Amino acid sequence: MADKEATVYIVDVGSSMGERHQGRSVTDLEWGMQYVWDRITATVATGRKTANLGVLGLRTDDTSNELSDDVHFSHISVLSNIKQFLMSDLRKLGDDIKPSTTDKGDAISAIILAIQMIITHCKKLKYKRKIVLITNGRGRMNSENLEDITKKIKEDNIELVILGTDFDDSEYGVKEEDKDPRKAENESMLRSLAEDCDGVCGTLDQAVSELEIPRVKSVRVMANFKGFLQLGDSEEYDSAVRIPVERYYRTYAAKPPSASSFVLRSGLGSQQDQPESHTTAAASSDTLGVDESSLTSVRPLRTYHVADEDAPGKKVDIERENLAKGYEYGRTAVHISETDENITILETFAGMDLLGFIQSDQYERYMHMSTSNIIIAQRANDKADLALSSFIHSLFELECYAVARLVLKENKPPILVLLAPSIEPDFECLLEVQLPFAEDYRAYRFPPLDKVVTVSGKVVTQHRNLPNDDLLDAMDKYVDSMELVDVDEDGEPVETFPIDDSYSPVIHRIDAAIRSRAIKPHEPIPAPSKQLLKFSEPPENLVEKSQNHLNKLVEIADVKKVPPKIKGRKRTRETEKPLSGLDVDALLHQEKRTKITPNNAIPEFKQILAQAEDLDTIREAAKQLTTIIESQIRHSLGDANYDRVNEGLGMMRDELISYEEPTLYNEFIQQLKEKLLKEELGGDRRELWWLLRKNKLGLIDQRESDQSKVTSAEAKDFLSAN
């Protein structure tokens, strides 16, 4: 469990905080609040009851604190006591924070109050205590009793953070010219206060700019397996070895928070007003026109049915209780009774068994199938340390990887893993990834990239699909000129892929959007921060440097974009010949296929179109095909012929687009829709119409074919209307 936290934010809202400085578009207060909101919402987002915070307003118009009788503590208001912050608190704070009309109020007194709040809240319990002060340092500050404050802060182990607008910071490179003398004095006093109690005093500029860098959630390190790395069978052979080891995640895909589904409550006429989210309601109504209290959650309901030829609609609903558990073997349903539930589970025992070793340079890196883990020796076991270390070093020296069979728990499926040695100056371990099984590889085949094999079996090395020497040379130079050389903070070149400063764009964008919407429900979602897009484009300097090589490459490569309209079109009939080059078209011509046979409709329709010399032939073929399709619908028992109809229509649509006769199709599909909906083709065919809609077999519009007179809107309308 993470430690309990108590943080007090002291926000200076003096009237001078409402001014803009140094050419910034936001007031000092708005600027400071960027930091405060970010910190507070980050705490709220954790949803932890033990992460508590309070807020003090400094230089407020009113005074509201427990020492309000003392004039030293005037113009300081407790905006929120220390507690778990919820959405309503955020909204309230948003309303409360605005520049006051006064510049009275002492920051040092506010710190004293904050200490008091923490003491009251935390008592002597274990807490991470923290005070954050945001100020422009322009108010009057009383420097008496600073030693007592320092002592108290150190005693109670409170972390003090002071952030000032335009405070000088030579390290960060900020210096305010013509600084107000009082501010200069305050600055140096606050700085020495912070230093004295081991806190931080910095310039706000730096703090706000660092907000850009997404924060990575740290996860507690926990072993996901404790067992033995085994060589040989210790139950059978005396020569077997068992090294006790522990396994930890090295990578684990972090996931964005998941959203839940809601709908409007039924019968919303009578608003049920729930007091606690009242402010929310007012706030969000602009963006969405609803508030949470009018919403109800959505849950999934699962129903089951089986096919039944005799039932209306060809299926009957079955209650869950009347169903047994089972699996599919092909199209055979295999029932497994509850007592046999584990019958298909392979019996295994936990352990990591070595199969053997492979040469690391013979391994294809792309065979990694999973996230990675590390394996270390059982902790506080020196013998295991020694044993594993000798294993790691021998793999390293021999340039080998180990292959092992890993079972994480009794009766869990075995996986094969690859173990690689990792030796760093202060850390040694085995790195582990999962390997593919035979079933995990799909043998799709692809032609070679360095030669072309012709139909007759001749190997050709000069071909339009093969790069010539000029292209190879241009590519060589371009790739070399685009070499990424990253440097770390100290300017040293980094020799690995940039993993440490690449942040998941989706996670952090969603995170930012939630927090932004929580405090500013009226505003649109902010754009992704620059940091998230850091690797979305090649670095500018690299692009510049390699420009000449790229130009050369583009010129030699001579790549031509295919205009979108031609894409679907038949480009040549050349590919449509068999390997021998036999002129099948001529043979077809001899056969004189003019009447399309229903059971060979698709090939024959295509062949007639291919040979057609006039429009009438195409029109006639289309007419024949439509008759066949309608007859298939009419005689379809239930949905028996629907797939065939789909295929016929899809093919007809594609062909008529390529032969530039979209109107023939459009006329037909319009009539067909009418007939379907009027139940003229063998009864209720709405399901078929739904299928055709899903497969987008509606009107051919102008985007798809120049010859079409149908606009995209009309086509869309045609499909959406019932």
Partner 1 sequence: MADEYRDDDQLEDEEEIDETGYKTVKDAILFAIEINESMLTPSPSADSKTKGEESPASAALKCAYHLMQQRIISNPHDMMGVLLYGTQASKFYDEEETSRGDLSYPHCYLFTDLDVPSAHEVKELRGLADDEGEARNVLVPSKEPVSMANVLFCANQIFTSKAPNFLSRRLFIVTDNDNPHGENKALRSAAAVRARDLYDLGVSIELFPISHPDHEFDHARFYDDIIYRASPTDPDAPSYQLADSKASTATGDGIALLKTLLSSIHSRSVARRAYFSNMPLELGPDFRISVSGYHLFRRQQPARSGYVWLEGEHPQMAQGETTAIADDTARTVEKWEIKKAYKFGGDQVIFTPEELKSLRDFGDPVIRIIGFKPLSALPFWANVKHPFFIYPSEADYVGSTRVFAALHRKLLRDRKAALVWFIPRKASGPVLGALMAGPEKVDEYGVQKLPPGMWIIPLPFADDVRQNPETRLTVAPEPLIDKMRYVVQQLQLPKAIYDPSRYPNPSLQWHYRILQALALDEDLPEKPEDKTIPKYRQIDKRAGFYVLSWAEELEKQYAAAGGTAAQTTLVKRSAKDRDAETGDSASQPAKKPKVEDGSSGVEADIRSHYEKNTLSKLTVPILKDFLHSHGRSTAGKKADLVERVEEYYERK
Please list every residue from 348 through 387 that binds partner 1, using CB under 8 A. 348-351, 353-359, 362-372, 374, 376-387
DSSP element (H, E) containing 357: strand 351-359
Q: Any contact of residue 649 with partner 1 (CB under 8 A)?
A: yes
Inter-residue long-range contacts of 247-251, CB under 8 Å, 24+ positions, other chains counted: 247/223, 247/373, 247/374, 247/375, 247/432, 248/221, 248/222, 248/223, 248/224, 248/373, 248/374, 248/376, 249/224, 249/371, 249/372, 249/373, 250/371, 250/372, 250/373, 250/374, 250/431, 251/371, 251/372
CB of 339 to partner 1, least distance (A): 14
Nearer to partner 1, 115 or 418 (CB): 418
d(CA 711, CA 70): 77
Given a contact cutoff of 8 angstroms between Cβ atoms, the answer to whether 31 and 21 are in contact is no
Q: Which of residues 89-128 bind partner 1 (CB under 8 A)?
A: 89-90
How many of the other CB atoms lie within 10 Å of CB of 347?
A: 7
Name the region of 558 (left: φ>0; alpha: ψ -120 to 50; beta: rest): left
Q: Any contact of residue 234 with partner 1 (CB under 8 A)?
A: yes
CA distances from 438 to 328, 357, 411, 435, 442 (A): 22, 18, 21, 10, 9
Closest of 104, 62, 67 to residue 79, by C-alpha: 62
Q: Any contact of residue 389 with partner 1 (CB under 8 A)?
A: yes
Among the residue ranges 12-20, 86-94, 658-666, 700-708, the one whose residues contact partner 1 (CB under 8 A): 86-94
Given a contact cutoff of 8 angstroms between Cβ atoms, the answer to whether 144 and 171 are in contact is no
Q: Any contact of residue 559 with partner 1 (CB under 8 A)?
A: yes
CB of 58 to partner 1, least distance (A): 24
Q: Any contact of residue 211 with partner 1 (CB under 8 A)?
A: no
Given a contact cutoff of 8 angstroms between Cβ atoms, the answer to whether 389 and 428 are in contact is yes
The DSSP result for 603-644, as a single string, is: HHHHHHHHH--SHHHHHHHHHHHHHHHHHHHHT-STTTTHHH
Q: Any contact of residue 682 with partner 1 (CB under 8 A)?
A: no
Q: Which token pair is 124?
A: 């002597």
CB of 84 to partner 1, least distance (A): 8
Q: Which of residues 331-350 bind partner 1 (CB under 8 A)?
A: 331-336, 343-346, 348-350
Q: Which of 47, 173, 313, 683 binds partner 1 (CB under 8 A)?
A: 47
Nearer to partner 1, 72 or 522 (CB): 522
Q: Any contact of residue 282 with partner 1 (CB under 8 A)?
A: no
Q: Any contact of residue 42 with partner 1 (CB under 8 A)?
A: no
Burial classification of residue 531, based on how many CB atoms lie within 10 Å of its CB (0-12 exposed, 13-18 middle, 19 or more buried): middle
Q: Give the interface size with partner 1 as a residue count (CB under 8 A).
A: 269
Q: Which of 42, 146, 200, 482 binds partner 1 (CB under 8 A)?
A: 482
Q: Which of 48, 96, 179, 228 binds partner 1 (CB under 8 A)?
A: 228
Q: Any contact of residue 309 with partner 1 (CB under 8 A)?
A: no
DSSP element (H, E) containing 459: strand 459-460
Q: Which of 25, 270, 322, 339 binds partner 1 (CB under 8 A)?
A: 322
Q: Which token pair is 654?
A: 């594609």
Q: Which of 26, 282, 288, 311 binds partner 1 (CB under 8 A)?
A: 288
Nearer to partner 1, 124 or 561 (CB): 561
CB of 143 to partner 1, least distance (A): 38
Q: Which of 200, 211, 416, 719 binds partner 1 (CB under 8 A)?
A: 416
Q: Any contact of residue 615 with partner 1 (CB under 8 A)?
A: no
Nearer to partner 1, 82 or 163 (CB): 82
Among the residue ranges 15-23, 558-566, 681-689, 699-707, the one whose residues contact partner 1 (CB under 8 A): 558-566
Q: Any contact of residue 720 with partner 1 (CB under 8 A)?
A: no
- Backbone angles phi and psi of 25, in degrees to 5: -85, -15
Q: Which of residues 495-524 bind partner 1 (CB under 8 A)?
A: 495-510, 513-515, 517-518
CB of 507 to partner 1, least distance (A): 6
Given a contact cutoff of 8 angstroms between Cβ atoms, the answer to whether 34 and 73 are in contact is no
Among the residue ranges 110-118, 151-159, 187-195, 690-698, the one whose residues contact partner 1 (CB under 8 A): 690-698
Closest of 80, 2, 77 to residue 40, by C-alpha: 80
Q: Which token pair is 43?
A: 């705490």
Q: Any contact of residue 176 with partner 1 (CB under 8 A)?
A: no
d(CA 287, CA 57): 30
